[in-house]
């Protein structure tokens, strides 16, 4: 899941940079000062995909401890924890 999020972020970053070439010098260094970033149609259409991936990752992190507990429960009826 994390790899998909990273790839989507890279895609969106490249798209945002290509849509706003005015924020860069000819040697591809960033201009100083406040910048207005334009968002292309493809960028806007891919943003919900990133949001959905991040939502799924959050749910996965939220329920991970419960999955471990349920796995232990499936092994038997009684569980003894010794310290």
* Structural domains of the chain, count: 1
Residue 48 lies in a domain: yes
* Mean pLDDT score, 43-72: 90
- The pLDDT score that the predictor gives to residue 1 is 84
- The pLDDT score that the predictor gives to residue 11 is 95
Q: What is the dihedral of CA 51, 56, 57, 61, to 10 degrees?
A: 140
Residue 72 lies in a domain: no
* Mean pLDDT score, 56-69: 87
Which tokens hold the place of 58?
Answer: 């959050």
- The pLDDT score that the predictor gives to residue 5 is 95
Residue 75 lies in a domain: no
- The pLDDT score that the predictor gives to residue 73 is 79
- The pLDDT score that the predictor gives to residue 41 is 94
80 has a pLDDT exceeding 80: no
- Name the average pLDDT for the chain: 89
Residue 53 lies in a domain: yes
- The pLDDT score that the predictor gives to residue 28 is 81
Range of the domain at 22: 2-63
């Amino acid at each position: 899941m994390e790899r998909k999020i990273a790839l989507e972020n890279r895609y969106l970053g490249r798209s945002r940079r290509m849509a706003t070439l005015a924020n860069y010098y000819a040697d591809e260094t960033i201009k100083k000062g406040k910048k207005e970033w334009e968002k292309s149609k493809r960028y806007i259409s891919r943003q919900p995909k990133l949001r959905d991936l991040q939502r799924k990752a959050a749910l996965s992190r939220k329920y991970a401890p419960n999955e471990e507990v349920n796995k232990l429960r499936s092994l038997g009826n009684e569980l003894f924890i010794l310290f």
